[in-house]
Structure 1
Amino acid sequence: MSTLDIFTRDIIQNSLQAIADEMFTAMRKAAMSPVIYEVLDMGTGITDAQGEIASSGAGIPAFVGVLDKAVKKIRQQHPLAQDIEDGDVFISNDPHDGAVTHLNDVVLAMPVFADGHLVAWTANIAHWSDVGGRVPGSLSTEATDIFQEGLRLASVKLISKGQPIRSVLQILRANTRMPDFMEGDLWAGVAAVRGGAVRLRELTGKYGTALFLLAMKDFMDLGEKVSLKALAALPAGQLNLEELQDDGSLFKVRIDIRAHELLIDLRDNPDQCQGPTNLSRDGAVVAAQMAFKALTAPQGITNGGTFRPLRVLTRPGSLFDALPPAAEGFYFENLIRVHDLILCCLAQRFPERLPAGNFASVCATIIGGVHPDTGRAFTLVEPEIGGWGAEPGRDGNNAVYCGLHGETYNCPVEVCEARYGLYVERMELNDEPGGHGQFRGGRGVCIDYRIRADASFMTCGYTRSVIPPWGLEQGGEGTANGVEVIRKDGQRERYSMASGVALNAGDLVRVRTGAGGGYGPADRRDPQAVRQDLKNGYIDAATAHAVYGLTP
Structure 2
Amino acid sequence: MGHPSHDQVTFDIIQNALEAIADEMFVVQRKTSMSAIIYEVLDLGTGICDAKGDIAASGAGIPAFIGVLDKAVTAILKKHPPETIQPGDLFASNDPYWGGVTHLNDMILAMPVFAAGRLVAWTANIAHWNDVGGLVPGSMSSDATEIYQEGVRIPAVKLMEAGRPNQAVFDILYVNTRLPAFLKGDLWAGIAGVRIGERRLQELIAKYGVDVVIAAIDDFMDLGERRARTALKGLTKGVFTFAEEQDDGAVYKVSIEITDDAFIVDLRDNPDQSGSRNSSLEGVVIAAQLAFKAVTDTDAPGNGGFFRPLKVVTRPGSVFHVVEPGALGYYSEVEIRLFDLILRCMARYVPELVPAGNFASICGTNIGGKHAETGRHYTIVEPQLGGWGAQRGRDGNSAMFSGFHGETFNCPAEVAEARYGLGVEELALNPAAGGEGQWRGGKGISLRYRVRADDNFLSVGYTRSRIPPWGVDGGLDGSPNFVEVLRPGEMPERYAFGTNIPLREGDVVHVVTGVGGGFGPPERRSREAVLRDLRDGYLTGERAREIYGIED
> What TM-score do the two structures reach when normalised by structure 2?
0.98
Name the structure 2 match of 1:247. Answer: 248
The equivalent of 1:491 in structure 2 is 491
1:299, distance to aligned residue in structure 2 (A): 2.6
SS of residue matched to 1:46: strand
Tell me the equivalent position of 1:130.
131
Deviations 1:379-434 (A, max 9, x none): 00000000111112111111111122101000000000000021000000001011
The 3-state SS of whatever aligns with 2:104 is: coil
348-357 vs 100-109, greater mean Cα deviation = 348-357
Q: Distance in 2 between the 1:2 and 1:85 partners?
A: 32
Matches within 5 A, 1:457-476: 457-476=457-476
Q: CA deviation at 1:549?
A: 3.2
Partner amino acid, structure 2, of 1:311: K
- Write the letter of the residue equivalent to 1:389: G
Contact 2:364 2:460 in 1 (8 A): yes
- 1:503 corresponding residue in structure 2: 503
1:361, 1:464 within 8 Å by CA — same for their partners in 2?
yes
Once the two structures are overlaid, the 10-residue window that deviates more, 161-170 or 443-452, is 161-170
Where 2:306 maps in the other structure, the secondary structure is: helix
The offset of 1:473, in angstroms, is 2.0
Contact 2:104 2:151 in 1 (8 A): yes
- CA deviations 1:169-214 (Å, max 9, x no partner) are 1111111111111110000000000000000011011111111011
- Correspondence for 1:233: 234
The 3-state SS of whatever aligns with 1:71 is: helix
Query: 1:233 Cα deviation (Å)?
Result: 1.2
Q: Match for residue 383 of structure 1?
A: 383
Amino acid at match of 2:14: I
Contact 2:388 2:443 in 1 (8 A): yes
Which deviates the most, 55-64 or 341-350? 341-350
- Answering whether residue 106 of structure 2 is matched by residue 98 of structure 1, we say no
Deviation readout 1:494-527 (Å, 9 max, x if unpaired): 0001110000000000000001111122222222
The answer to whether the Cα contact below 8 Å between 2:236 and 2:349 also exists between their aligned partners in 1 is no
2:20 to 18, 27, 31: 18
| Corresponding residue for residue 224 of structure 1 | 225
1:117-516 alignment runs, 5 A limit: 117-273=118-274, 275-516=275-516
Confirm or deny: 8 A CA contact 2:458 2:499 kept in the other structure: yes
Residue 471 of structure 2 aligns to a residue whose secondary structure is: coil
> Aligned to 2:43, which of 41, 44, 49?
41
Q: Equivalent residue for 2:114? A: 113
Q: Distance in 1 between matches of 2:327 and 2:13?
A: 44
What secondary structure sits across from 1:255 in the alignment? strand
Any unmatched runs of 5+ in structure 2? none
AA paired with 1:71? Answer: V
1:64 paired with 2:63, answer no
Query: Any conservation in 2 of the 1:388–1:516 contact (CA below 8 Å)?
Result: yes
Distance 1:118 1:19 in 2: 18
Identify which of 50, 53, 62 aligns with 1:51.
Answer: 53
3-state secondary structure, aligned to 1:318: coil
Check whether the contact 1:369–1:421 (CA below 8 A) recurs between aligned residues. no
Query: Could you tell me whether the CA contact under 8 Å between 1:130 and 1:136 is conserved in 2?
Result: yes
Say which SS state the counterpart of residue 27 (structure 2) adopts: helix
Between the aligned partners of 2:148 and 2:406, the Cα distance in structure 1 is: 30
**Which amino acid in structure 2 is aligned with residue 313 of structure 1?**
V
Could you tell me which amino acid in structure 1 is paired with residue 66 of structure 2? Answer: V
CA distance in 1, matches of 2:545, 2:225: 51
Correspondence for 1:79 among 78, 81, 85: 81
Question: 1 CA distance for matches of 2:377 and 2:471?
Answer: 43
Q: 1:82-118: per-residue Cα shift (whole Å, max 9, x none)?
A: 2x11011100001112111000000000000111111
Offset, 1:143:
0.9
Partners of 1:477 and 1:60 in 2: how far apart? 27
Q: Distance in 2 between matches of 1:495 and 1:481?
A: 9
SS in 1 for 2:366: strand
CA distance in 2 between counterparts of 1:401 and 1:351 reads 24
| Superposed CA offset, 1:445-473 (max 9, x none) | 00000000000000000000000111222
Partner of 2:45: helix, strand, or coil?
strand
SS at match of 2:311: strand
For normalisation by structure 1, the TM-score amounts to 0.98
SS at match of 1:300: coil
Farther-moved stretch of structure 1 (481-490 vs 318-327):
481-490
Contact 1:295-1:354 within 8 A present in 2 as well? no
**Does the Cα contact within 8 Å between 1:21 and 1:58 map onto a contact in 2?**
yes
CA contact (8 A) 1:45 1:53 kept: yes
Q: Distance in 1 between matches of 2:197 and 2:176?
A: 29
Q: What's the offset of the Cα at 1:56?
A: 2.1
By how many angstroms is 1:300 displaced?
2.4
Query: Judging changes above 3 Å, is the alpha-carbon distance between structure 1 residues 346 and 263 closer, same or farther for their aligned structure 2 residues?
Result: same
Contact 2:359 2:480 in 1 (8 A): yes
> In structure 2, what is the Cα distance between the partners aligned to 1:121 and 1:290?
22
Q: CA deviation at 1:2?
A: 7.4
Deviation at 1:353, TM superposition (A): 1.9
For residues 491 and 526 of structure 1, what CA distance do their matches in structure 2 show? 40
- Whether the 8 Å CA contact 2:23–2:58 is kept in 1: the answer is no
AA paired with 1:307? Answer: F
Measure, in 1, the Cα distance between the counterparts of 2:528 and 2:261.
Answer: 45
Cα separation, 1, equivalents of 2:293 and 2:547: 35
Alpha-carbon deviation of 1:6? 2.3
Equivalent pair of 2:235/2:350 in contact (CA under 8 Å): no
Structure 2 distance, partners of 1:114, 1:519, is 55
> 1:533 offset after TM fit, Å?
1.0
Q: Percent identity?
A: 57
Offset, 1:551: 4.6
For the Cα contact (< 8 Å) 2:541–2:551, is it kept in 1?
Answer: no
* Local SS of the residue matching 1:491: coil
Cross-structure match for 1:9? 11
- Counterpart Cα distance in 1 of 2:368 and 2:245: 33
**Partners of 1:65 and 1:173 in 2: CA distance:** 27
Pair 374,71 (structure 1): closer, same or farther in 2 beyond 3 Å = same
| Distance (Å, rounded) in 2 between the aligned partners of 1:31 and 1:256 | 43
Letter of the aligned partner of 1:490 in structure 2?
A: E
Q: 2:462 & 2:418 partners in 1: Cα distance? A: 26
Contact 1:2 1:211 in 2 (8 A): no
- Amino acid aligned to 2:234: A
Q: What secondary structure is seen at the aligned counterpart in 2 of 1:460?
A: strand
**In the TM superposition, what whole-angstrom CA distance separates every residue of 1:461-496 from its partner, at most 9, and x where no partner exists?**
000000011122222111100000000223210000
Task: Name the CA distance, whole Å, in 2 between partners of 1:16 and 1:473.
Answer: 44
Note the C-alpha offset of 1:280.
0.6
Deviation per CA, 1:357-397: give whole Å up to 9, x if none: 11010000000011111121100000000011111211111
Q: State the distance in 2 between where 1:463 and 1:292 align.
A: 23
Q: Which amino acid aligns with 1:479?
A: S
The alpha carbon displacement at 1:5 in A equals 2.4
What is the rounded CA distance, in whole Å, between the counterparts of 2:251 and 2:226 in structure 1?
36
8 Å CA contact retained: 1:351, 1:472: no
Distance 2:423 2:342 in 1: 39
In the alignment, the residues of structure 2 paired with residue 297 and residue 549 of structure 1 have an alpha-carbon distance, to the nearest angstrom, of 42
C-alpha displacement at 1:257, in angstroms? 2.0
